[in-house]
Amino acid sequence: AEEMMVRSEKMSVAGQLAAGVAHEIRNPLTSLKGFLQLLQAGVNGKEEYYQIMVEEIEKIESITSELLFISKPLTDNRKLESLKSMIHDVTVLLSPQAKLKDITIELKVEEHIQINCDRSQIKQVLINLLKNAIEAMEAPGTINITVEDDYETVEISIKDEGPGIPEHILHKLGEPFFTTKQTGTGLGIMITKQILASHQAELDIRQNEKKGSTFQIIFHK
Ligand code: ADP
Ligand code: MG
């Protein structure tokens, strides 16, 4: 019975996703239609309407581009990749966003560590987690990325100084479209978990003792 339950839960993810897509795209569409009708009727306040309309279109854009990523066939380009090089690429990519908020990204990664993975997929995972860490932080501070190479595992930790994750929403992280952000898509952690599962890797989410949270990726050798 337990096995069946797991299966039906897994299948419902597709249904959940479809319902979510329809819902998430209908809302901005409804709003766009309303503003277009207002403009058609010749009301004042055009400038403000255009701004909102652009934001609604951007919302649809980001949802569709994340969905395209999910539906991409999982090509298997796995080989031994340098972790340092992947993490370096990702921090370069997101450093402008970090700089804007006065956030320092500190890396502690040894040169030689390699994992067997699809480079672009694991980079996507690192982007999703690092982006969340940056978005979580209000004030200037530091994000620490560390890598531990043990006998049986390689663990990457991304530690932020944000508000942390309230206990009552912890289990919702990774549900399609679960977001607490005004402009979030709620797809990042779902995609992350999906990619990690295909690499037999895990995601561990912890509250920090002092401040913020730590997202840890665990690869098995
Ligand atoms: P999105 O970033 O579009 O909201 P995600 O799937 O990436 O979607 O994240 C889902 C939710 O998990 C976020 O809206 C936020 O509430 C929470 N979350 C993720 N990462 C962090 C973090 N580092 N600190 C605090 N909350 C986080
Ligand atoms: Mg995100």
Q: State which of 171, 173, 206 you would mutate to test the pocket of ligand 1, scoring each by most atoms of that ligand within 8 A of its C-beta.
A: 173
Residue 86 CB–ligand 1 contact under 6 Å: no
Q: How far is the CA of 171 from the centre of ligand 1 (A)?
A: 12
Q: Which ligand 1 atom lies nearest to the CA of residue 191?
A: 6
User: What are the tens digits of pLDDT across the range 104-130?
Assistant: 999 999 989 999 999 988 999 999 999
Residue 213 CB–ligand 1 contact under 6 Å: yes
The dihedral through the CA atoms of 161, 163, 169, 174 has a sign that is negative
Nearest to 207 by CA among 145, 139, 161: 161
User: What are the tens digits of pLDDT across the range 155-213?
Assistant: 999 999 999 999 999 999 998 889 999 878 888 999 899 899 999 999 999 999 999 99
Could you give the angle at the alpha carbon of 147 between the alpha carbons of 75 and 178, nearest 5°? 60
Q: Which amino acid, one-letter code, is at 212?
A: G
Q: What is the pLDDT of residue 11?
A: 45
Ligand 1 atom 14, closest CA: 179
